[in-house]
Structures are given as structure tokens and as C-alpha cells.
Structure 1
Amino acid sequence: MKRNWGTVLLSTLVVSSMALSACSSDTPSKEKEGTTKVDDVKTVSSAGFPIVKEPIKLKMFTRIAPTNGPFKDMPVFKDFEKMSNVQVEFIEAPTDGFPEKKNLLFASNELPDAMYRSGLTQLEAIKYGAGGQLIPLEKLIDSYAPNLKKLMETYPEIRSAITTPEGHIYAIPGIVTVNSARTDKRWMNQAWLKKLNLKEPETTDELYEVLKAFREKDPNGNGKQDELPMTARNDKLSVVTQMAGSFGLDLQFGYNINLDNDKVNIWMGSDRNKELLMYLNKLYSEKLLDQELFTQKEAQYLAKQGSGNTGFFFDQTNNPMLDTKVANQYMGIAPVKGPHGDRMQSNAAPVPRDFGAFAITPVNKYPEATMRWIDYFYSDEGSTLLRFGRKGENYELREGIPYYTDAFLATGNQSKITPYAGGGAPHLISEKVASYINPLQVQEAQKKLDPFMPKVKFAPPMFDEQTAQKINMLRNDIDKYYEEQSTKFIVGALNFDKWGEFQATLKKMKIDELQQLYQATYDNLKKQN
């Protein structure tokens, strides 16, 4: 299996500090072999089911995607409650506005027992962990998470990506060991290409001409100019992320960073980024790029994928298209070559793909049982239950691999039965459970991207607490300003003759200091290797 060796380098960053971490005084006392005493009533089994003999109740704050049904109705949670004796009440917050609700939760200190599918960032994990609102998990993992522990041993980049320099783990990720689940594909309407006798675009100029033809030449044949040439998610400038590689812009350390001859370059104010934003502005101004790009909800974006009336978009899978039977209209294409010859799929993720997917708070009376509960989903068996539901009713095995049954696929309810739909769930995505997200069409789309995937990919680093606080303060202002101004540049609300002022403001916000902090982190990695 292909490893992400760039992130492997991060594992050495925390080895020495982990060796110094002391045993916690809160470690539960052993009652007997195979169980651990939690209080006078509850005991946690170290293996097998149920996890506890007497039922316990937990509250978990979670994100619910537009395609999901209520978590309480999902087979995975119904069946696992019976298996484990752990009753979970989910506090659901929708994808739109979720970060704000999550921040309010911590600000008010009205904490649940655990954060599920919580999308905590590295900076949030350190901030809330150091502040005592998340508990360290490393000893719980060692004693109560054999599946996760085994994955961390197999892929050292997992431990390095989630462990602070002090040796603490405050949140655990969704783990992806199948390549095609670590990057968005570039889906183009091949039916429209064929109808208009166009070839697959190879350059940014050719992409512009294709999108223009989609807009002007009625490829859907209804006599109306109602085609949507190109769209993307309304999520932290995702369209910039998707197109960055065509302008030589990489995304190292989970940020807007190029590594040039061992020098960290935060490129937000660079000439290359100006060229990228000008290109997107050209597409937007000519209505080749979705006019609802910065206002649409996730459900609207998914609906546009499934409509068959979209020319070009980005998504990891072909699932939204399958639900509406238009999948055969689309094919994956390679990244297009930019004006300087750059052609890179820069937004690929590491094996620990979904950082901060699960965390435990100090109000939790049963952290040992909670860790055992979540660890089940880092096994192929647990991941199969989470992703596919009930054998026979929802899926069948073919040569040991789960596939949805034809009868269940016909209901169109796949996304209703699993918290996987919408992404970010804390679990394992391996080849054994990837049949639905990695069918032949997706595999073929990934082959188009493979030659352009980055050779080295550094995961977002876990800084020491002092550095994390500095970076958090700097990025809070810089990231907000960059997103606001970039949006204005793209939609034409801000003229590019203001680019010098934009660069000067980034300087005033101490972007150079932020760059130095990332440079020091990279230098430390090099010293360790």
C-alpha cells in the first residue's frame, strides 16, 4: 500500500516528548482480568461486547449533513447500542453554520460527553485541550483502543499528525487508507463534450473555452441558456483550493504553503495567487462560474451535481450523481496546466484525513467506555456497520467486500442510514469498505489524478501550546481577511488595482511572522531526519 512519506516525517517530532509523558493519576484501577473498574456500578470490558454490563448514557455533539437522516434512526447506532450497552444521545447541528455552533459550545462551556464528527482543527484541539475542555486520550488509546492503536503502528503518520509536542492527543481523526478517498475528483460532463465535439481540456485556456461552449451552445438541447458550466463548494474558498495547483500553488501543512528549496512560502499575497484569482474572476464575470458560489448551501451544491445540468465540478465520489442516475454523463479529468506550465493536484489529504473527528470532554463520567465505543469503528467490522448498515437488509458480501444490495440502492436511502454521508465521521476507510465510494468510475477518475499528486505531503502540524496560541491569534485575523478579500476579488467587488493594498494589509497582520513560525516547524522536522 502506498504510504504518504511526507507525513511520516512528522512522527519523529513527538517521540522525545512522548517518552517524557507521565502516567496519569486518573488511570482506573484494575478490577479483574479483562475489565476495568470505573465506579461502584459500571465496569468496562477491555475486549468483546458488551462494553459495559449495565447500560450507560452519553451525549455527543455532532454535525449532520443535508443528506443524512436523524442519527438515532441509523442502523449503526441502533444495533451498536444493543451490542455495547452504551446509549448515545446525539445533539445534531447542521453542516451550514456548524463551526459557529461548535465555537459557541466551547465558549459557553456547555459541553457534551464527546464531540462526534466534530471537525476540530489542530489549533482548536490544542486550545481546548490546553484549556481543559478536552481530555488527553493517549493513555485511553493505549488501553482501550486496540484497533486505532494498530493503525497508528502501521501508519506512523497518524500518531505524528495528532500528537502535540508535549505528547498529548486531544482528538482522533477519520483514517483513510485508500488513495481515491483522499482527494476530490474533477468531474466533467462528457455527454456535453461529445454533443459539442469538444476534447477534454488540458490547460486553463482550454478549460475556459470548454466552459464558454457549455454556456453558449445549448449542450442540454432544450433551446435555453440554462446550463451551469462550473460550480464548487461554498466552503472556505474551495474553488481556490481546487484550482491552486494549476498556478503552482501547493497546500503543505494544511495551509496555503509552498515549500521552495526548504523555504516555507505562504503564497496568499503572491503574484501567482493574483493570477489565480484573476482567472476565477474572469470565469465568474462571464457567468461560467456559479453565481451562487459563495451563497449556496451544501444541499444546493449536491443537487446541482445530481441534476445532470452542470458541466464541471469537484467531489470525492460519484454518489450524488448516482442517486439521480446521471453518473454516466460524467468522467474524471486531470488537473489543467496553468500559464506557467504547472499541473498539480494540490489538495490531496494524508492518511489521517479528517482531523479532529472525535474528542472527549472532562464532563464525561465514562471515558474508558467511550474510547472502547469509538474504537470499534476503526475495525473493518465496525466500519462496515457504520457505512453499510445491516447485512441482508442493506448490503451483501461479494468476495468478502460489502456492497449495497440492488433492492436497497433502489430506495435511494443510502445516505440516510450512515453518518459517513457528508464526510468527516471518525472511522476507518480501507479498501475493504470502500466499494460505494471507490467504484470503477471513481477509480478511473483517480487514475487521471495520480500522475499529478504531490510527491511529499506534510500534514498540518501539532505545535507546542505557546506556538499554537501565536498561530491561532495570527490566523484568526489573516484567514478571515484573506477569505473576505479573495471572495471580493473573484466576484468583482474589489478591483485588482487594490492588490498592493491587499498585500500591505497582510504584512500589517504579520503574515511574515506566521511564515517564520511554519518555517521553524519545518526546520525542526529536517533536524529530526
Structure 2
Amino acid sequence: MNKNWVTTLLSTVVVSGLTLAACSPDNAARKNDVKSGAESANAVSAAGFPIVKEPLKLKMFTRIAPSNGPFKDMPVFQDFEKMSNVQVEFIEAPTDGFAEKKNLLFASNELPDALYRAGLTPLEAIRYGSGGQLIPLEKLIETYAPNLKKLMDTYPEIRSAITTPEGHIYAIPGIVTVNAARTDKKWMNQAWLKKLNLKEPETTDDLYEVLKAFRDKDPNGNGKQDEIPMTARASAGSGLGLPVIDMMSGSFGLDKQLGYYINLENDKVQIWMGNDRNKELLMYLNKLYSEKLLDQELFSHKEAQYLAKQTAGNTGFFFDQTNNPFIAIADQYIGIPPVKGPHGDRLQSHAAPVPRDFGAFAITSVNKNPEATMRWIDYFYGDEGSTLLRFGRQGENYELREGIPYYTDAFLATGNQSKITPYAGGGAPHLISDKVASYINPPQVQEAQKKLDPFMPKVRYAAPMFDEQTAQKINVLRNDIDKYYEEQSTKFIAGALSFDKWGEFQATLKKMKIDELQKLYQDAYDNLKKQK
């Protein structure tokens, strides 16, 4: 049965001449309910390959990053089509404008069979799921997704992060079980430490003294005071906060649970934006900034400029997940643990949860083969499928060293790594484990992660799922509060706003109903605890 994609609104999304892929006439029309014992001409195998005996076509809408090549040319999808007997035609939309095109799909109700690398928000998942455009996946996962089910059983925080208050799962995330892919390491210039005969800093006071030495004692030896003692990424924008706060908050006892500025103490949610510990953190950062120990371009430099500062080797202390940006001078740097703050706190507060990329994959209500689709995506939540997705073909693109895949030198020389995998650009629905993370988790990064591991929280709670009405209420509250917090934090750090105004800052947060926001998160956390 062919479905015609005739809509001018979608002409920017759908490749010219594409029509909705046909479902085999031999396939029984299926919804999400698993039909035990049901027989069809093209039944889905519960295990092994192929997934179906007769070729099956699926249409998937996806985001394509600037660094990617066409998905149809990627080894992972070419090879998996042969293994699974499932042919996927991707409708590729570029990162810029992707959200608008995704919304247009749902608004026009001209839906593909699935959304891949979809970046669905929790609110979108609930809205389109409760509205009938996305189907519940929990029963399909139980029967047709053994890899994903095993991960959800092993890491209960995955299930709680993707299950609605009504008990449905409308979208599945990218899952990261290797800690090194969930943290930004704290990279210190060990060459400068050695030259100046300094020890790795243990406390915030130590860090202050080390940064002063980096500023004043010419560690790069060029006779100029041109060193950057400390830097961090610029603002994430749109009220998403300042990375430098995330990187240093753990030294002041400030965590980021439930995907927000939240400490959990004795099962009580505390939003800490206006508390005294945050004031101490901002005062410390203001001290560094005012004394030119913290990058003066902190609030303005672009990502490319930040990476260039790493590559130049002229920075004393910075933060990044891996060593890829400065690999040519990697020996110059060493990972250090979080520094101990004035109250003895030493927390690695900024760590992404195991279900890192929410809404990476979803199945729509027009899909006649949801069982086969679930089997198809589940392959990438095992090490074999994840290796194929991330590294391509053994011998051609990668080789195994002690059982771990590494790109071959010949393939690295081509510079085409991001062309062969949808992992490049982030957000792909798959598993990132220690067995497939060689590119982001080489030995130096592993050592840096070991410095952080003792200070990682036992459980990192992801942002909870809310019902649509509550989610909309939270969005309204956070839209104002988050933007205000980022703006005022920037001013406090830069010295444009005196800390004498802290009381006014707290009062404004109250007026913006931060207490109401805290109660909504508390209710969500209480519901989460009941599910366990």
C-alpha cells in the first residue's frame, strides 16, 4: 500500500521524487500490541538475522549533521540492510532548521515510519504520543528489544527517564554506559606545573595560586604575559547556563540532578540558584575573572576559538570530554580531580546521565511493522551493532586491538571518519560502552576519568518525564528563570553586578516562582521513587 507524500510544505524536507515507502502486501498490518502466536507471510524473527524473510522497506526522518555524508553511503546502513532484510530510506534534514521541519511533519500528519536521531523533547514525546502520532514502545521493548531491555534492567535510571507518568515509553534515548563519555575532564597543563615546580591543586585556594603562577611566571617561556591561565566554553545560550559554573559547582557542593540546578538531600529537591553556596561559587569565579586568571573572552569566544586555545597549548586549565582537540600536544596535559571547596566538597557534579540523548528514536502510528522496526533499532544497543555504527567495516575502516575497535591509520589519514557514521554530530540512538569508545576514551582520557570516578554521584537522575500540562507549566517558568539566571550569573562573574545586589537577585527569583518550580520537580522525584 503506497502512501503519497504530496505536500508542498514538506518539499524542503523530502528528497525530490520520494514517496512513502511501501509496506509489503504480504505483511499483516500491525499496531504496537504484540500478537502472540500470530502468523504472517513475513513474520518477525524473535532473534538472529534476517529480521524478516521477505525484504521490508521503512521510511525514517533524521537529522544530518554538517560533518556527515549521506546516510545511504554509510557502511553501517548498507551492511545492516543485507543482514536484516530491512531497507531504510532516510529523509535527511540538516541540523539548521531541523526542529522546525520535525514539527512540520507532525503538524501536517504526513509521518514517516520512524524518527531516527530525532532529538524529541520529553514534551514532544508526550504530546505526540498521547495524541496518537507516536506509539507506546514498552511492550515492543519487552519482546523485540533484548539489548535495550537488558540495559534498562541494569540501569534503572533509563526506564525512569523515558517513562511517562501514565507508564508509557514513546521515545528511546542514546545510552552511555562509559563514564568518560558523560563527563568533561579537568585538563591541567602539567608541562607548566613541572617548569614552575608546582603540584597539582587540591583545593580551590590551591587552584587560585596555580593560576596566578601561570599568569605571572611565564611558563611558556616567551617573555610575554600572554598565557591563558584558565578557560571554558562560552554560554550555551537560550538559558542553558554557563559551562564554567557547571565545571566548578561541585567544589561548592552544588549538583545537577534531574537535568537542572538541583541538589537531592534526604529525598528533598533543592534548586540552588539563589542559595549561599552558589553565591560563594560566583564570588570565586568573579575573583578569578577580575584578576585575569579566567579567560577574558569567556563570554564571547566561539566554539572554534575555544578549541584553538586548547590546540595552541597556551592554556593552563580547561575542560573537555576527550583529548581529541589537543591530541598533537596531548603529553602537555594531565587530567586532575575536582578541587576541594571551602566546605570540603569535592563532587564531579556535571556528568550526563546514562540515558544521555533523550528522544533519539520513535515509531509513528503509520508504521505497519513496529515489531520489525524495534528489532532493527535494538541491534544498535548491543556492542556488535554499536561497533558497526560507530566504526564501519573491520579491515576497511577499523581494526581490533585487544578486542577494542580503533580506526586504522590508513582510514584516519583520509579524514572521512565523520562521513561513515551517524554518531558524528551526536544524538544517534545507540549504545556507547567502554568496548566501542576508543575514539573518545583513549588511555590518556581513561586516566583522566579515573581521577573523577571517586567523586561521581552513585546515580545521575535524568530530567523526569512530566504530563503535558505540567511540562508546559515548567517550560513557562524555566523560560524566564533560566534566562534571568544566566544573565545575572554572567554579570556577577564579570563584575558588572555587585554582590550587594544578591538579595535583590534572590527576591526576583522568588517573584519568578522558583518555589513553584521546585515543588513541581519534587513531585516528579516523589513519583520516580514510587516507581522503583
For the 8 Å contact 1:220–1:309, the answer to whether it is kept is yes
2:89 alignment partner in structure 1: 88
1:168 alignment partner in structure 2: 168
**Is 2:342 the partner of 1:339?**
yes
Instruction: Give the Å deviation of 1:252.
Output: 1.8
Q: Give the length in aligned residue pairs.
A: 496
Distance 1:193 1:105 in 2: 55
Q: CA, structure 1 residues 300+49, in 2 after alignment: closer, same or farther (shift >3 Å)? A: farther
Q: CA, structure 1 residues 334+98, in 2 after alignment: closer, same or farther (shift >3 Å)? A: farther
Q: CA, structure 1 residues 223+134, in 2 after alignment: closer, same or farther (shift >3 Å)? A: farther
Q: CA, structure 1 residues 411+261, in 2 after alignment: closer, same or farther (shift >3 Å)? A: same
**Is 2:279 the partner of 1:278?**
no
Q: Deviations over 1:149-202 (max 9, x none)?
A: 232233333222211121111221122223333322111121222223222111
For the 8 Å contact 1:246–1:342, the answer to whether it is kept is yes
Q: Deviations over 1:16-71 (max 9, x none)?
A: xxxxxxxx9664868975x686xxxxx7555413657335252423262x655554
Instruction: Give the Å deviation of 1:254.
Output: 1.9
Match of 2:481 among 478, 482, 485: 478
1:457-496 map, 5 Å: 457-496=460-499
1:156 alignment partner in structure 2: 156
Look up the equivalent residue of 2:167 and give its one-letter code: G
Q: Deviations over 1:333-378 (max 9, x none)?
A: 0101122221111123333233222233446565444333322211
Q: CA, structure 1 residues 293+31, in 2 after alignment: closer, same or farther (shift >3 Å)? A: farther
- Larger mean CA deviation between 404-413 and 103-112 belongs to 103-112
2:448 alignment partner in structure 1: 445
Q: Which runs of 5+ in 1 are unaligned?
A: 1-23, 38-42
Calculate the TM-score normalised by the size of structure 2. 0.82
Look up the equivalent residue of 1:219 and give its one-letter code: P
Secondary structure of 1:265 counterpart: strand
Instruction: Give the Å deviation of 1:394.
Output: 1.6
Q: CA, structure 1 residues 464+306, in 2 after alignment: closer, same or farther (shift >3 Å)? A: same
Q: CA, structure 1 residues 149+308, in 2 after alignment: closer, same or farther (shift >3 Å)? A: same
- Larger mean CA deviation between 431-440 and 340-349 belongs to 431-440
1:240 alignment partner in structure 2: 245
Q: CA, structure 1 residues 501+428, in 2 after alignment: closer, same or farther (shift >3 Å)? A: same
1:164-313 map, 5 Å: 164-234=164-234, 235=236, 236=240, 237-313=242-318
1:18-37 map, 5 Å: 27=33
Q: CA, structure 1 residues 69+360, in 2 after alignment: closer, same or farther (shift >3 Å)? A: same
Look up the equivalent residue of 1:304 and give its one-letter code: K
Calculate the TM-score normalised by the size of structure 1. 0.82
1:358 alignment partner in structure 2: 361
Q: CA, structure 1 residues 93+293, in 2 after alignment: closer, same or farther (shift >3 Å)? A: farther
For the 8 Å contact 1:247–1:339, the answer to whether it is kept is yes
Larger Rg: 2
Look up the equivalent residue of 1:207 and give its one-letter code: L
Distance 1:164 1:117 in 2: 20
Distance 1:340 1:104 in 2: 51
Look up the equivalent residue of 1:231 and give its one-letter code: T
RMSD over aligned CA atoms reads 3.2
Q: Deviations over 1:85-130 (max 9, x none)?
A: 4233253434x88777767876787766544334444344334433
Q: CA, structure 1 residues 375+267, in 2 after alignment: closer, same or farther (shift >3 Å)? A: same
For the 8 Å contact 1:93–1:101, the answer to whether it is kept is no
Look up the equivalent residue of 2:61 and give its one-letter code: M
2:504 alignment partner in structure 1: 501
Q: Which runs of 5+ in 2 are unaligned?
A: 1-29
Instruction: Give the Å deviation of 1:385.
Output: 0.7
Q: CA, structure 1 residues 78+232, in 2 after alignment: closer, same or farther (shift >3 Å)? A: farther
Match of 1:393 among 375, 396, 399: 396
Instruction: Give the Å deviation of 1:444.
Output: 1.3
**Is 2:348 the partner of 1:371?**
no
1:135 alignment partner in structure 2: 135
| Amino-acid identity (%) | 80
- Larger mean CA deviation between 132-141 and 192-201 belongs to 132-141
Distance 1:266 1:444 in 2: 33
1:14 alignment partner in structure 2: none
Look up the equivalent residue of 1:250 and give its one-letter code: D
For the 8 Å contact 1:231–1:312, the answer to whether it is kept is yes
Look up the equivalent residue of 2:345 and give its one-letter code: D
